[in-house]
Structure 1
């Protein structure tokens, strides 16, 4: 009965959003007919209502051309554009060809290639405990709401083996927490000031034999086993337990002299496969002062990913090609800064493409013009066309504790500039979390200011948001309260029909405005970093939240 209720509720929400999309798109048709034609007269006094010549060049029909291509790549290849699939390879090749073959494009295009481990879990993992002559098995299911445990992404394999179990002190974020754990399985609670990946690395340095993480249970969403990834280089078998399963072991350890666990994890290894980033930069502008615009090009395996993140990929491509077209004219003043556009691969398995780029840019052997410190700002566009959308602006002030304050200050300035544009257009807006859950994360962790836009994923639109949006956009245009921003998030239905064209166009125009606004700053370094640039750089992977699938 509950399952039927959920299905009916989802269907009704989808139908309502379909109606809303039609109304929004009817409104967009009226807006498109009044849009000021592309102008290349000057960039000091932009014409039109968008306060930006580059923004005035953004047309829905150009965005749709790319989105239709992305959808066709998925449709022809198992309805996915996930890394390791032909759909992803065709997406990357298409982006690269668009950048290289347009006659007006003088962009320098670079393909970065990096390996990803390819494996699957063979059969069902096994976990049981024994203490004081009693043995009990934990239940495994692929349904997280019904299972006692699941495996950690990048777990090592282990044949059926018995280990003594010990509780790690605190949250396992310090080496001292792993006293007397050598050769044993350790029980570690989620949380603390470090990631699961960090805990795994610390445990390995103490010669721990196996990892049993359990969720903290402080909210209803943290009762089931957490999904997360360890480092690709992880050498320890690792399982993720539900709060109830973890607490049962915790209680056993506190009431018994000895607890043993038996576990087995079998992996089917397929070697590695290559994943690609595509970057393209202007030949003009100071290469030591670079504005980076990024989006990820892969989808999840479960769907074609047209909103997540075909919408960001297409937006980035239109920005790059339109800027190249303007640069090819003699009447559009080129920015004093180099502009680099990047399409990251492997975001959905943990920001792997962006991490790889940041790590390579930190290497001493990297050419000077490609050094990480050359990047002044990272603008990130991940999900811009959600059907129950918000005009979401990354809230620079909500960055993770430990992030460079100088980078936060610059990020706040970018947030405010976005906010000012939406206000000038009489459009509503929301601040969204700046948690590092997309590809700007490793750049922000390295002390580089960041900003971007987000139309909403699996969160829920509130009645207050609906009312605010209706007050700005008109009665019936505020969206559906109580429904998720994108009901097709990470699902097979994330197709072109899932895109709200009105909201999407406004988001891409905002992105175009921001690029031109920053590009025309006389002294962008001082504007972003009035107190100087940060000098201490964190390890990029230490910044991220833990999830198999990111935004």
Structure 2
């Protein structure tokens, strides 16, 4: 089994407001601060039966108790509903670099400015984005039979899908495919791969370890490109899925359906019939 693939993508720089990790921390702190502020204004009722114990020593309330008694689920739900509304009017997303992300930040900073004494400031920085320049192409050749696989954003009909922050590759000549056993999660898996994965396209099944672990090992063993494929252990693990790597990734990667991945695996195991 030999493969040709063309995957052209571009990494662009754009200016966005604070990162997800920072935003997540702001949201959590924001909920706690604002809820405590609102609820601390509510006077607690006195015990009607015993009245205030003026002679008793007042017990010091711990910070955890104060926060616990101050947070109200209805207030938290109101904020979550506002965030969901932002996503709804922002094409279903509040991801970084989108209008929904900026609207989320505006909602948080405006609320803090209006309801607390905090001085809120914003800082801006560059983030690398990912986009395809054109749809990727995947072609196989086995015993003289060539197949062009279907790329689609409709996962139910797609044979494969791109991976965010994949490196670009343009393999114009057919390159031999090799299947990595046991999910490709250990050095033993890659060292036992036959033929050797070096300078070949590696077929790697989903499962056992993280995708990042698989790609780290593929990089270590000088693979030309990686074809991940779903494991088919349940109906929702048959179609290709959308995954993302970090901007440091240097490996070309595509994600295949279980059906396509299994068919390619079978072809690699039928060595006498493979086209070399």
Q: Name the residue aligned to 2:179.
A: 167
Q: Name the residue aligned to 1:127.
A: 138
Matching of residue 227 in structure 1 with residue 239 in structure 2: no
- TM-score with structure 2 setting the length: 0.65
CA deviation digits over 1:232-289, x for unaligned, max 9?
211222111111111111111111258579xxxxxxxxxxxxxxxxxxxxxxxxxxxx
Note if contact 1:223-1:243 (Cα within 8 Å) is conserved in structure 2.
yes
Separation (CA, whole Å) in 1 of partners of 2:84 and 2:242: 28
Structure 2 vs 1, CA of residues 259 and 129 (structure 1 numbering), >3 Å: closer, same or farther? farther
Q: Name the residue aligned to 1:203.
A: 218
Separation (CA, whole Å) in 2 of partners of 1:63 and 1:187: 46
| 1:156 pairs with one of 151, 161, 167 | 167
Deviation for aligned residue 1:211: 0.4
Q: Which has the higher contact order (CA 8 A, sep 6+)?
A: 2
Q: Name the residue aligned to 1:95.
A: 108
What are the ranges of 5 or more consecutive residues in structure 2 without an aligned counterpart?
Answer: 1-38, 46-57
Note if contact 1:164-1:259 (Cα within 8 Å) is conserved in structure 2.
no
What are the ranges of 5 or more consecutive residues in structure 1 without an aligned counterpart?
Answer: 1-34, 262-551
| 2:42 pairs with one of 14, 38, 43 | 38
| 1:81 pairs with one of 91, 94, 109 | 94
- Count residues in correspondence: 220
Separation (CA, whole Å) in 2 of partners of 1:202 and 1:114: 32
CA deviation digits over 1:466-515, x for unaligned, max 9?
xxxxxxxxxxxxxxxxxxxxxxxxxxxxxxxxxxxxxxxxxxxxxxxxxx
Deviation for aligned residue 1:201: 1.8
Indicate the SS of the match to 2:183.
coil
Separation (CA, whole Å) in 1 of partners of 2:116 and 2:41: 21
Structure 2 vs 1, CA of residues 114 and 164 (structure 1 numbering), >3 Å: closer, same or farther? farther
- TM-score with structure 1 setting the length: 0.35
Structure 2 vs 1, CA of residues 169 and 113 (structure 1 numbering), >3 Å: closer, same or farther? farther
Note if contact 2:144-2:275 (Cα within 8 Å) is conserved in structure 1.
no
> In angstroms, what is the RMSD of aligned CA positions?
3.7
Note if contact 1:197-1:231 (Cα within 8 Å) is conserved in structure 2.
no
| 2:268 pairs with one of 253, 264, 271 | 253
Rg bigger for which structure? 2
Indicate the SS of the match to 2:182.
coil
Indicate the SS of the match to 2:184.
coil
Deviation for aligned residue 1:131: 2.2
